[in-house]
Structure 1
Amino acid sequence: MTKTVFISLFILFVSFAYSQENADKRIQYFPKSEEKVSKMPKKKNVWVFIMAGQSNMAGRGQVEPQDTIYNKRILSINAKGELIIAKEPLHFYEPTLTGLDCGMSFAKSLLPKISKNITILLIPTAVGGSAVQQWIGDSTYRKVQLLSNFKEKVNIGLQYGTIKALLWHQGESNTNNKENINLHTSRLTNLFTVFREILQNKHLPILLGELGAYSKNNTNWQLLNAKLREYVKTDSNAALIFTQDLKHKGDDIHFDSDGQRKIGERFATEYLKKFN
Protein backbone atom coordinates (compact mmCIF):
# COMPACT_ATOMS: atom_id res chain seq x y z
CA MET A 1 0.00 0.00 0.00
CA THR A 2 1.42 3.34 -1.02
CA LYS A 3 1.60 6.26 1.40
CA THR A 4 -0.92 8.21 -0.71
CA VAL A 5 -3.47 5.37 -0.63
CA PHE A 6 -2.95 4.94 3.12
CA ILE A 7 -3.58 8.65 3.76
CA SER A 8 -6.70 8.58 1.58
CA LEU A 9 -8.07 5.56 3.44
CA PHE A 10 -7.27 7.18 6.79
CA ILE A 11 -9.13 10.36 5.79
CA LEU A 12 -12.13 8.28 4.70
CA PHE A 13 -12.10 6.40 8.00
CA VAL A 14 -11.92 9.61 10.05
CA SER A 15 -14.71 11.19 7.99
CA PHE A 16 -16.91 8.12 8.45
CA ALA A 17 -16.21 8.01 12.18
CA TYR A 18 -17.03 11.70 12.54
CA SER A 19 -20.23 11.28 10.55
CA GLN A 20 -21.23 8.24 12.62
CA GLU A 21 -20.51 10.07 15.87
CA ASN A 22 -22.76 12.97 14.81
CA ALA A 23 -25.49 10.56 13.70
CA ASP A 24 -25.31 8.72 17.02
CA LYS A 25 -25.47 12.02 18.91
CA ARG A 26 -28.52 13.11 16.91
CA ILE A 27 -30.51 10.02 17.86
CA GLN A 28 -29.14 9.24 21.31
CA TYR A 29 -32.30 10.46 23.07
CA PHE A 30 -34.77 9.27 20.46
CA PRO A 31 -37.39 6.88 21.90
CA LYS A 32 -36.25 3.28 21.94
CA SER A 33 -39.81 2.03 21.48
CA GLU A 34 -43.27 3.31 20.71
CA GLU A 35 -46.36 2.84 22.82
CA LYS A 36 -49.59 2.23 20.93
CA VAL A 37 -52.81 3.77 22.21
CA SER A 38 -54.95 0.96 23.60
CA LYS A 39 -58.04 3.02 24.45
CA MET A 40 -58.93 6.30 22.78
CA PRO A 41 -60.70 9.03 24.73
CA LYS A 42 -64.14 10.09 23.53
CA LYS A 43 -63.96 11.94 20.22
CA LYS A 44 -65.43 15.11 21.74
CA ASN A 45 -62.49 15.22 24.17
CA VAL A 46 -59.70 15.00 21.57
CA TRP A 47 -58.19 18.22 20.22
CA VAL A 48 -56.28 17.66 16.98
CA PHE A 49 -53.51 19.95 15.75
CA ILE A 50 -51.93 19.56 12.31
CA MET A 51 -48.24 20.42 11.90
CA ALA A 52 -47.26 21.42 8.35
CA GLY A 53 -44.54 23.22 6.42
CA GLN A 54 -40.87 22.50 5.90
CA SER A 55 -37.83 21.61 8.01
CA ASN A 56 -38.27 24.08 10.86
CA MET A 57 -41.65 22.50 11.50
CA ALA A 58 -40.41 18.98 10.81
CA GLY A 59 -37.70 19.68 13.39
CA ARG A 60 -33.92 19.72 13.20
CA GLY A 61 -33.13 20.46 16.86
CA GLN A 62 -31.22 18.09 19.11
CA VAL A 63 -33.55 15.93 21.20
CA GLU A 64 -32.28 16.32 24.77
CA PRO A 65 -33.19 14.56 28.06
CA GLN A 66 -35.82 17.17 28.96
CA ASP A 67 -37.59 16.43 25.67
CA THR A 68 -38.03 12.74 26.48
CA ILE A 69 -40.67 13.31 29.18
CA TYR A 70 -43.95 12.24 27.63
CA ASN A 71 -47.56 12.60 28.74
CA LYS A 72 -50.32 10.11 27.99
CA ARG A 73 -52.66 13.02 27.22
CA ILE A 74 -50.47 13.89 24.22
CA LEU A 75 -50.79 11.53 21.26
CA SER A 76 -49.41 11.35 17.74
CA ILE A 77 -49.18 8.89 14.87
CA ASN A 78 -46.41 6.70 13.50
CA ALA A 79 -45.44 6.17 9.86
CA LYS A 80 -48.22 3.57 9.50
CA GLY A 81 -50.83 6.06 10.70
CA GLU A 82 -51.29 4.22 13.99
CA LEU A 83 -52.03 6.18 17.16
CA ILE A 84 -49.13 6.30 19.62
CA ILE A 85 -48.15 8.16 22.76
CA ALA A 86 -46.34 11.24 21.42
CA LYS A 87 -42.57 11.32 21.83
CA GLU A 88 -40.04 13.53 20.08
CA PRO A 89 -39.22 13.49 17.26
CA LEU A 90 -42.79 13.48 15.96
CA HIS A 91 -41.98 13.69 12.25
CA PHE A 92 -40.88 10.51 10.49
CA TYR A 93 -40.67 11.44 6.79
CA GLU A 94 -36.92 12.13 6.73
CA PRO A 95 -35.42 9.67 9.23
CA THR A 96 -31.79 10.67 8.61
CA LEU A 97 -32.52 14.35 9.26
CA THR A 98 -35.41 14.66 11.68
CA GLY A 99 -34.85 16.06 15.16
CA LEU A 100 -36.67 18.05 17.81
CA ASP A 101 -39.70 19.97 16.56
CA CYS A 102 -42.09 22.29 18.40
CA GLY A 103 -44.97 19.85 18.82
CA MET A 104 -44.45 18.48 22.32
CA SER A 105 -43.56 21.91 23.66
CA PHE A 106 -46.79 23.25 22.16
CA ALA A 107 -48.92 20.48 23.66
CA LYS A 108 -47.24 20.61 27.08
CA SER A 109 -47.80 24.37 27.19
CA LEU A 110 -51.52 23.89 26.42
CA LEU A 111 -52.29 21.12 28.91
CA PRO A 112 -52.21 23.20 32.13
CA LYS A 113 -54.54 25.80 30.56
CA ILE A 114 -57.29 23.49 29.26
CA SER A 115 -59.72 21.00 30.75
CA LYS A 116 -58.24 17.85 32.25
CA ASN A 117 -60.67 15.87 30.11
CA ILE A 118 -58.92 16.96 26.91
CA THR A 119 -56.36 14.83 25.07
CA ILE A 120 -54.17 16.43 22.39
CA LEU A 121 -53.44 14.63 19.12
CA LEU A 122 -50.53 16.02 17.11
CA ILE A 123 -50.49 15.10 13.40
CA PRO A 124 -47.10 15.65 11.66
CA THR A 125 -47.10 16.43 7.92
CA ALA A 126 -44.09 18.75 7.41
CA VAL A 127 -41.35 17.90 4.89
CA GLY A 128 -38.00 19.66 4.91
CA GLY A 129 -37.16 21.87 1.94
CA SER A 130 -40.69 21.95 0.54
CA ALA A 131 -41.78 25.19 -1.13
CA VAL A 132 -45.30 26.60 -0.81
CA GLN A 133 -45.98 26.15 -4.54
CA GLN A 134 -45.09 22.46 -4.20
CA TRP A 135 -47.78 22.11 -1.53
CA ILE A 136 -50.29 23.86 -3.79
CA GLY A 137 -49.37 21.60 -6.72
CA ASP A 138 -49.38 18.39 -4.65
CA SER A 139 -45.80 17.75 -5.72
CA THR A 140 -43.89 14.70 -4.59
CA TYR A 141 -40.92 15.97 -2.62
CA ARG A 142 -38.47 13.76 -0.73
CA LYS A 143 -40.75 10.83 -1.53
CA VAL A 144 -43.82 12.50 0.02
CA GLN A 145 -46.76 13.68 -2.10
CA LEU A 146 -47.33 16.79 -0.04
CA LEU A 147 -51.01 17.64 -0.29
CA SER A 148 -52.18 14.04 -0.70
CA ASN A 149 -50.24 13.04 2.39
CA PHE A 150 -51.73 16.03 4.22
CA LYS A 151 -55.27 14.88 3.30
CA GLU A 152 -54.52 11.33 4.40
CA LYS A 153 -53.20 12.45 7.78
CA VAL A 154 -56.04 14.94 8.29
CA ASN A 155 -58.53 12.12 7.75
CA ILE A 156 -56.85 10.21 10.57
CA GLY A 157 -57.24 13.23 12.82
CA LEU A 158 -60.91 13.63 11.88
CA GLN A 159 -61.58 10.01 12.87
CA TYR A 160 -60.49 10.61 16.44
CA GLY A 161 -61.25 14.22 17.34
CA THR A 162 -61.89 17.82 16.40
CA ILE A 163 -59.23 19.65 14.43
CA LYS A 164 -58.61 22.83 16.39
CA ALA A 165 -55.80 24.53 14.44
CA LEU A 166 -53.02 24.20 11.90
CA LEU A 167 -49.43 25.02 12.92
CA TRP A 168 -47.45 26.23 9.91
CA HIS A 169 -43.77 27.06 9.55
CA GLN A 170 -42.47 27.41 6.01
CA GLY A 171 -40.81 29.97 3.78
CA GLU A 172 -37.07 29.45 3.73
CA SER A 173 -37.37 27.65 0.38
CA ASN A 174 -39.29 30.62 -1.06
CA THR A 175 -36.59 33.22 -0.36
CA ASN A 176 -34.37 32.29 -3.30
CA ASN A 177 -35.68 35.06 -5.57
CA LYS A 178 -37.85 38.18 -5.47
CA GLU A 179 -40.59 36.65 -7.62
CA ASN A 180 -41.21 33.87 -5.08
CA ILE A 181 -41.19 36.40 -2.25
CA ASN A 182 -43.62 38.72 -4.03
CA LEU A 183 -46.01 35.85 -4.75
CA HIS A 184 -45.92 34.48 -1.21
CA THR A 185 -49.00 36.25 0.16
CA SER A 186 -51.24 35.18 -2.72
CA ARG A 187 -49.87 31.65 -2.61
CA LEU A 188 -50.56 31.37 1.11
CA THR A 189 -54.09 32.62 0.52
CA ASN A 190 -54.56 29.91 -2.10
CA LEU A 191 -53.00 27.12 -0.04
CA PHE A 192 -54.74 27.96 3.22
CA THR A 193 -58.09 28.04 1.41
CA VAL A 194 -57.36 24.50 0.21
CA PHE A 195 -56.21 23.44 3.69
CA ARG A 196 -59.41 24.73 5.26
CA GLU A 197 -61.51 22.88 2.68
CA ILE A 198 -59.66 19.67 3.48
CA LEU A 199 -59.99 20.36 7.21
CA GLN A 200 -63.74 20.98 6.75
CA ASN A 201 -63.63 24.37 8.48
CA LYS A 202 -63.38 27.62 6.51
CA HIS A 203 -62.67 29.51 9.75
CA LEU A 204 -60.02 27.12 11.05
CA PRO A 205 -57.26 28.91 13.01
CA ILE A 206 -53.85 28.88 11.35
CA LEU A 207 -50.80 29.77 13.41
CA LEU A 208 -47.70 30.79 11.44
CA GLY A 209 -44.13 31.22 12.58
CA GLU A 210 -41.74 33.87 11.29
CA LEU A 211 -38.47 32.86 9.68
CA GLY A 212 -35.47 33.43 11.95
CA ALA A 213 -33.14 36.43 11.87
CA TYR A 214 -29.89 34.49 11.53
CA SER A 215 -29.74 33.63 7.83
CA LYS A 216 -26.81 34.53 5.58
CA ASN A 217 -29.62 35.61 3.24
CA ASN A 218 -31.31 37.67 5.96
CA THR A 219 -32.50 40.45 3.64
CA ASN A 220 -34.68 38.04 1.71
CA TRP A 221 -35.78 36.20 4.85
CA GLN A 222 -37.03 39.47 6.32
CA LEU A 223 -38.77 40.36 3.08
CA LEU A 224 -40.63 37.08 3.33
CA ASN A 225 -41.47 37.78 6.97
CA ALA A 226 -43.04 41.02 5.77
CA LYS A 227 -45.21 38.92 3.45
CA LEU A 228 -46.26 36.73 6.38
CA ARG A 229 -47.27 39.83 8.33
CA GLU A 230 -49.11 41.05 5.25
CA TYR A 231 -50.99 37.77 5.03
CA VAL A 232 -52.20 37.66 8.65
CA LYS A 233 -53.67 41.16 8.24
CA THR A 234 -55.98 39.70 5.59
CA ASP A 235 -57.05 36.65 7.62
CA SER A 236 -58.81 37.14 10.94
CA ASN A 237 -58.36 33.44 11.68
CA ALA A 238 -54.57 33.51 11.34
CA ALA A 239 -51.86 34.66 13.72
CA LEU A 240 -48.09 35.05 13.42
CA ILE A 241 -45.59 34.36 16.19
CA PHE A 242 -42.32 36.24 16.67
CA THR A 243 -39.01 34.36 16.23
CA GLN A 244 -36.42 37.10 15.67
CA ASP A 245 -34.75 36.51 19.06
CA LEU A 246 -34.23 32.78 18.52
CA LYS A 247 -30.93 31.16 17.57
CA HIS A 248 -29.92 28.62 14.96
CA LYS A 249 -28.30 25.24 15.59
CA GLY A 250 -25.04 26.27 13.90
CA ASP A 251 -26.13 25.99 10.28
CA ASP A 252 -27.77 29.43 9.78
CA ILE A 253 -30.97 27.65 8.70
CA HIS A 254 -32.58 25.69 11.50
CA PHE A 255 -33.72 26.72 14.96
CA ASP A 256 -31.81 25.11 17.80
CA SER A 257 -33.51 23.04 20.50
CA ASP A 258 -34.25 25.98 22.74
CA GLY A 259 -35.72 27.82 19.77
CA GLN A 260 -38.00 24.90 18.93
CA ARG A 261 -39.28 24.75 22.51
CA LYS A 262 -39.97 28.49 22.52
CA ILE A 263 -41.79 28.26 19.18
CA GLY A 264 -44.07 25.61 20.69
CA GLU A 265 -44.70 27.77 23.75
CA ARG A 266 -45.45 30.82 21.59
CA PHE A 267 -47.83 28.89 19.36
CA ALA A 268 -49.67 27.74 22.49
CA THR A 269 -49.81 31.25 23.97
CA GLU A 270 -51.14 32.69 20.72
CA TYR A 271 -53.69 29.92 20.30
CA LEU A 272 -55.04 30.40 23.82
CA LYS A 273 -55.08 34.18 23.50
CA LYS A 274 -56.79 34.41 20.11
CA PHE A 275 -58.66 31.21 19.41
CA ASN A 276 -59.64 29.41 22.62
Structure 2
Amino acid sequence: MIPKSSKFLLTLVFSICFYFLLQIRATTTNCSSGVMETTQTTHIFILSGQSNMAGRGGVYNGEWNKLVPPECQPNPRILRFSAESEWVEANVPLHADIDVTKVCGIGPGMIFANNYLPVCAAKTVVGLVPCAIGGTAIAEWEKGEKLYNDMLARAVLALEKAGSGGAIKGVLWYQGESDTDTKSHADVYKAKMKKLIFDVRSDLCQPALPFIQVALASGLEEDLIDLVREAQLSINLPNVLCVDAKSLPLKPDNLHLTTDAQVMLGEMLAGAYVTHFNDFI
Protein backbone atom coordinates (compact mmCIF):
# COMPACT_ATOMS: atom_id res chain seq x y z
CA MET A 1 0.00 0.00 0.00
CA ILE A 2 1.31 3.47 -0.94
CA PRO A 3 1.47 5.83 2.05
CA LYS A 4 -0.85 8.85 1.92
CA SER A 5 2.11 11.20 1.91
CA SER A 6 3.50 9.49 -1.19
CA LYS A 7 0.14 9.65 -2.94
CA PHE A 8 -0.06 13.35 -2.20
CA LEU A 9 3.43 13.89 -3.57
CA LEU A 10 2.68 11.97 -6.76
CA THR A 11 -0.53 13.94 -7.24
CA LEU A 12 1.32 17.20 -6.72
CA VAL A 13 4.04 16.29 -9.23
CA PHE A 14 1.46 15.20 -11.81
CA SER A 15 -0.50 18.44 -11.36
CA ILE A 16 2.60 20.57 -11.81
CA CYS A 17 3.63 18.69 -14.96
CA PHE A 18 0.12 18.96 -16.39
CA TYR A 19 0.06 22.72 -15.68
CA PHE A 20 3.31 23.30 -17.53
CA LEU A 21 2.13 21.16 -20.45
CA LEU A 22 -0.93 23.39 -20.77
CA GLN A 23 1.27 26.47 -20.72
CA ILE A 24 3.43 25.08 -23.51
CA ARG A 25 0.37 24.24 -25.60
CA ALA A 26 -0.97 27.75 -25.02
CA THR A 27 2.16 29.40 -26.40
CA THR A 28 2.87 27.09 -29.37
CA THR A 29 0.80 25.68 -32.18
CA ASN A 30 1.77 23.41 -34.99
CA CYS A 31 1.57 24.02 -38.70
CA SER A 32 -1.72 22.20 -39.19
CA SER A 33 -3.47 25.23 -37.71
CA GLY A 34 -1.76 27.56 -40.15
CA VAL A 35 0.31 29.18 -37.40
CA MET A 36 3.88 28.13 -36.75
CA GLU A 37 5.39 27.28 -33.41
CA THR A 38 6.50 30.49 -31.77
CA THR A 39 9.72 28.86 -30.58
CA GLN A 40 11.09 28.05 -34.04
CA THR A 41 13.09 30.23 -36.41
CA THR A 42 11.44 30.84 -39.76
CA HIS A 43 13.21 32.36 -42.77
CA ILE A 44 10.53 33.80 -45.05
CA PHE A 45 11.03 34.41 -48.77
CA ILE A 46 8.58 36.20 -51.06
CA LEU A 47 8.30 34.63 -54.53
CA SER A 48 6.96 37.18 -56.98
CA GLY A 49 6.78 38.28 -60.60
CA GLN A 50 5.09 36.51 -63.49
CA SER A 51 4.82 33.06 -65.10
CA ASN A 52 8.43 31.87 -64.91
CA MET A 53 8.40 32.48 -61.16
CA ALA A 54 4.96 30.91 -60.77
CA GLY A 55 6.35 27.97 -62.75
CA ARG A 56 5.44 26.45 -66.09
CA GLY A 57 8.00 23.64 -66.03
CA GLY A 58 6.34 20.42 -67.14
CA VAL A 59 3.21 22.19 -68.43
CA TYR A 60 2.30 21.16 -71.98
CA ASN A 61 -0.97 21.60 -73.86
CA GLY A 62 -2.63 23.07 -70.79
CA GLU A 63 -1.71 20.22 -68.44
CA TRP A 64 1.07 19.66 -65.92
CA ASN A 65 2.82 16.31 -66.44
CA LYS A 66 3.27 15.91 -62.65
CA LEU A 67 6.92 14.90 -63.03
CA VAL A 68 8.65 16.14 -59.88
CA PRO A 69 12.46 16.30 -59.97
CA PRO A 70 14.31 15.18 -56.83
CA GLU A 71 15.36 18.78 -56.17
CA CYS A 72 11.67 19.60 -55.58
CA GLN A 73 10.98 16.90 -53.01
CA PRO A 74 9.00 18.07 -49.94
CA ASN A 75 10.61 18.55 -46.56
CA PRO A 76 8.81 19.14 -43.23
CA ARG A 77 11.07 22.17 -42.76
CA ILE A 78 9.92 23.81 -46.01
CA LEU A 79 6.52 25.46 -45.73
CA ARG A 80 4.28 27.42 -48.07
CA PHE A 81 1.87 30.25 -47.24
CA SER A 82 -1.34 29.15 -48.91
CA ALA A 83 -4.05 31.23 -50.56
CA GLU A 84 -6.07 30.62 -47.38
CA SER A 85 -3.28 32.39 -45.43
CA GLU A 86 -2.10 29.27 -43.64
CA TRP A 87 1.36 27.78 -43.31
CA VAL A 88 1.31 24.29 -44.82
CA GLU A 89 4.02 21.86 -45.88
CA ALA A 90 5.25 22.94 -49.30
CA ASN A 91 4.65 20.84 -52.38
CA VAL A 92 4.90 21.72 -56.05
CA PRO A 93 3.27 23.45 -57.83
CA LEU A 94 3.82 26.20 -55.25
CA HIS A 95 1.57 28.69 -57.09
CA ALA A 96 -1.32 26.37 -57.89
CA ASP A 97 -3.74 28.27 -55.64
CA ILE A 98 -2.26 31.71 -56.38
CA ASP A 99 -1.87 31.94 -60.18
CA VAL A 100 -5.27 30.36 -60.56
CA THR A 101 -6.16 31.36 -64.13
CA LYS A 102 -3.20 29.41 -65.53
CA VAL A 103 -1.83 25.88 -65.14
CA CYS A 104 1.17 25.89 -62.83
CA GLY A 105 4.05 23.44 -62.79
CA ILE A 106 7.65 23.56 -61.63
CA GLY A 107 9.11 26.94 -60.68
CA PRO A 108 12.37 27.84 -58.91
CA GLY A 109 10.98 28.27 -55.39
CA MET A 110 11.13 24.70 -54.09
CA ILE A 111 14.60 24.16 -55.55
CA PHE A 112 15.77 27.37 -53.91
CA ALA A 113 14.43 26.24 -50.53
CA ASN A 114 16.00 22.77 -50.74
CA ASN A 115 19.37 24.31 -51.59
CA TYR A 116 19.11 27.05 -48.97
CA LEU A 117 18.02 24.85 -46.06
CA PRO A 118 21.35 23.01 -45.54
CA VAL A 119 23.18 26.23 -44.65
CA CYS A 120 20.66 27.11 -41.93
CA ALA A 121 20.63 26.13 -38.28
CA ALA A 122 19.14 22.71 -37.54
CA LYS A 123 15.78 24.01 -36.31
CA THR A 124 15.31 26.67 -38.98
CA VAL A 125 12.21 26.45 -41.17
CA VAL A 126 12.03 27.99 -44.66
CA GLY A 127 8.72 29.70 -45.38
CA LEU A 128 7.82 30.44 -49.01
CA VAL A 129 5.19 33.07 -49.85
CA PRO A 130 4.05 32.60 -53.48
CA CYS A 131 2.74 35.81 -55.08
CA ALA A 132 3.61 35.57 -58.80
CA ILE A 133 0.91 36.00 -61.43
CA GLY A 134 1.47 35.01 -65.06
CA GLY A 135 1.31 37.58 -67.85
CA THR A 136 1.65 40.64 -65.61
CA ALA A 137 3.56 43.81 -66.45
CA ILE A 138 5.70 45.85 -64.05
CA ALA A 139 3.04 48.60 -63.99
CA GLU A 140 0.63 46.12 -62.38
CA TRP A 141 3.08 45.72 -59.50
CA GLU A 142 3.31 49.41 -58.66
CA LYS A 143 2.50 50.47 -55.13
CA GLY A 144 -1.26 50.90 -54.75
CA GLU A 145 -2.12 48.40 -57.49
CA LYS A 146 -3.91 45.18 -56.54
CA LEU A 147 -0.96 42.85 -57.16
CA TYR A 148 1.34 44.97 -55.02
CA ASN A 149 -1.23 45.30 -52.25
CA ASP A 150 -1.91 41.55 -52.27
CA MET A 151 1.83 40.75 -52.14
CA LEU A 152 2.44 43.07 -49.20
CA ALA A 153 -0.63 41.85 -47.35
CA ARG A 154 0.42 38.22 -47.77
CA ALA A 155 3.97 38.98 -46.65
CA VAL A 156 2.82 40.82 -43.52
CA LEU A 157 0.30 38.13 -42.59
CA ALA A 158 2.83 35.37 -43.25
CA LEU A 159 5.26 37.09 -40.90
CA GLU A 160 2.58 37.49 -38.24
CA LYS A 161 1.60 33.83 -38.45
CA ALA A 162 5.24 32.75 -38.30
CA GLY A 163 5.34 33.92 -34.69
CA SER A 164 8.14 35.66 -32.86
CA GLY A 165 10.82 33.59 -34.60
CA GLY A 166 9.82 34.67 -38.08
CA ALA A 167 11.76 37.07 -40.31
CA ILE A 168 11.41 38.06 -43.97
CA LYS A 169 14.81 37.25 -45.44
CA GLY A 170 14.38 38.22 -49.07
CA VAL A 171 12.39 38.68 -52.26
CA LEU A 172 12.94 36.48 -55.31
CA TRP A 173 11.66 38.32 -58.39
CA TYR A 174 11.30 37.05 -61.97
CA GLN A 175 9.29 39.35 -64.22
CA GLY A 176 9.67 41.50 -67.31
CA GLU A 177 8.61 39.39 -70.29
CA SER A 178 5.36 41.34 -70.52
CA ASP A 179 7.29 44.61 -70.71
CA THR A 180 9.05 43.58 -73.92
CA ASP A 181 5.89 44.30 -75.90
CA THR A 182 6.61 48.00 -76.64
CA LYS A 183 9.68 50.22 -76.45
CA SER A 184 7.88 52.68 -74.20
CA HIS A 185 7.36 49.93 -71.61
CA ALA A 186 10.93 48.66 -71.90
CA ASP A 187 12.34 52.18 -71.61
CA VAL A 188 10.79 52.79 -68.18
CA TYR A 189 11.42 49.31 -66.78
CA LYS A 190 14.52 50.23 -64.80
CA ALA A 191 12.92 53.18 -63.04
CA LYS A 192 9.82 51.17 -62.18
CA MET A 193 11.88 48.25 -60.90
CA LYS A 194 13.97 50.49 -58.67
CA LYS A 195 10.85 52.10 -57.25
CA LEU A 196 9.29 48.69 -56.61
CA ILE A 197 12.33 47.64 -54.59
CA PHE A 198 12.23 50.88 -52.62
CA ASP A 199 8.50 50.58 -51.93
CA VAL A 200 8.65 46.94 -50.80
CA ARG A 201 11.51 47.67 -48.45
CA SER A 202 9.83 50.78 -47.10
CA ASP A 203 6.44 49.14 -46.54
CA LEU A 204 8.03 46.14 -44.83
CA CYS A 205 10.24 48.46 -42.74
CA GLN A 206 13.34 46.61 -43.97
CA PRO A 207 15.54 49.10 -45.88
CA ALA A 208 18.26 46.48 -46.44
CA LEU A 209 15.98 43.57 -47.41
CA PRO A 210 17.81 41.31 -49.91
CA PHE A 211 16.25 41.39 -53.36
CA ILE A 212 17.28 38.98 -56.13
CA GLN A 213 15.87 39.57 -59.60
CA VAL A 214 16.23 37.28 -62.60
CA ALA A 215 17.43 38.72 -65.90
CA LEU A 216 15.12 37.58 -68.70
CA ALA A 217 15.65 34.42 -70.70
CA SER A 218 12.82 35.27 -73.11
CA GLY A 219 10.19 37.79 -74.08
CA LEU A 220 8.06 39.11 -76.91
CA GLU A 221 10.31 41.31 -79.09
CA GLU A 222 13.98 40.33 -79.37
CA ASP A 223 15.45 43.85 -79.30
CA LEU A 224 13.21 44.80 -76.40
CA ILE A 225 14.26 41.70 -74.45
CA ASP A 226 17.80 43.04 -74.57
CA LEU A 227 16.60 46.45 -73.42
CA VAL A 228 14.80 45.06 -70.37
CA ARG A 229 17.72 42.73 -69.61
CA GLU A 230 20.09 45.70 -69.70
CA ALA A 231 17.82 47.51 -67.24
CA GLN A 232 17.75 44.52 -64.90
CA LEU A 233 21.48 43.88 -65.00
CA SER A 234 22.37 47.54 -64.51
CA ILE A 235 20.41 48.17 -61.32
CA ASN A 236 23.02 49.07 -58.73
CA LEU A 237 21.44 49.20 -55.29
CA PRO A 238 22.65 47.81 -51.95
CA ASN A 239 21.60 44.20 -51.36
CA VAL A 240 20.13 43.86 -54.86
CA LEU A 241 21.45 41.05 -57.04
CA CYS A 242 20.63 39.82 -60.51
CA VAL A 243 21.05 36.26 -61.73
CA ASP A 244 21.00 35.71 -65.47
CA ALA A 245 18.59 33.16 -66.97
CA LYS A 246 19.54 33.83 -70.59
CA SER A 247 21.42 30.57 -71.16
CA LEU A 248 18.73 28.37 -69.59
CA PRO A 249 16.71 26.07 -71.89
CA LEU A 250 13.20 27.09 -72.93
CA LYS A 251 10.12 25.06 -73.76
CA PRO A 252 8.92 24.97 -77.40
CA ASP A 253 6.93 28.17 -76.78
CA ASN A 254 10.28 30.00 -76.48
CA LEU A 255 8.90 31.85 -73.47
CA HIS A 256 8.85 29.55 -70.45
CA LEU A 257 11.70 27.70 -68.77
CA THR A 258 11.76 23.91 -68.87
CA THR A 259 11.72 21.88 -65.68
CA ASP A 260 15.48 21.32 -65.94
CA ALA A 261 15.98 25.06 -66.42
CA GLN A 262 13.90 25.80 -63.32
CA VAL A 263 16.07 23.41 -61.32
CA MET A 264 19.17 25.27 -62.49
CA LEU A 265 17.59 28.63 -61.75
CA GLY A 266 16.59 27.61 -58.22
CA GLU A 267 20.15 26.50 -57.58
CA MET A 268 21.49 29.77 -58.99
CA LEU A 269 19.18 31.81 -56.75
CA ALA A 270 20.17 29.87 -53.63
CA GLY A 271 23.86 30.11 -54.51
CA ALA A 272 23.60 33.86 -55.00
CA TYR A 273 21.77 34.35 -51.72
CA VAL A 274 24.13 32.20 -49.66
CA THR A 275 27.21 33.79 -51.22
CA HIS A 276 26.17 37.43 -50.89
CA PHE A 277 23.79 37.55 -47.94
CA ASN A 278 25.54 35.40 -45.36
CA ASP A 279 24.79 37.97 -42.62
CA PHE A 280 21.04 37.41 -43.12
CA ILE A 281 21.18 33.63 -42.65
TM range (shorter): 0.7 to 0.9
In structure 1, runs of 5+ residues without a counterpart are: 1-34, 140-144
Q: Does 1:61 align with 2:57?
A: yes
Gap change, CA 1:36 and 1:251, over 3 Å in 2: farther
For 1:163-221, what per-residue CA distance to the aligned partner results, in whole angstroms no more than 9, with x for missing partners? 00000000001111111111111111111111112222011010011111x55633221
> 1:217 and 1:60 mapped to 2: Cα distance?
20
Largest Rg, 1 or 2: 2
Tell me the residue number matched to 2:206: 201
Q: Aligned to 1:176, which of 173, 181, 194?
A: 181
- Residues 39-188 of structure 1 mapped to structure 2, 5 A cutoff: 40-42=36-38, 45-62=41-58, 63-66=66-69, 69-91=73-95, 92-95=97-100, 96-136=102-142, 138-139=144-145, 145-159=146-160, 160=162, 161-188=166-193
State the shift of 1:250 in Å: 1.4
1:26 corresponds to:
none
Answer whether contact 1:185 1:227 (CA < 8 A) is retained: yes
Counting matched residue pairs gives 234
C-alpha change, 1:192 and 1:103, in structure 2 (3 Å) is same
Residue identity matched to 2:121 = S
* Alpha-carbon contact 1:247-1:255 (below 8 Å) kept: yes
Please provide the CA RMSD for this pair.
Answer: 1.9
Residues 138/258 of structure 1: CA separation in 2 closer, same or farther (3 Å cut): farther
Runs of 4+ in 1 over 4 A off after TM superposition: none
* 8 A Cα contact 2:143 2:196, kept in partner: no
Task: Say if 2:44 and 2:169, in contact at 8 Å, map to a contact too.
Answer: yes
TM-superposed CA distance for 1:114, in Å, is 1.8
TM normalised by structure 2 equals 0.78
Structure 2: unaligned runs, 5 residues or longer = 1-30, 59-65
| Deviation, structure 1 residue 262 | 1.1
Whichever residue aligns with residue 100 of structure 1, its letter is I
State the partner residue of 2:194: 189
Q: TM-score, normalised by structure 1?
A: 0.79
Percent sequence identity over matched residues?
A: 29
Residue 204 of structure 1 aligns with an amino acid whose one-letter code is: L
Q: Structure 1 residues 127, 216: closer, same or farther in 2, change over 3 A?
A: closer
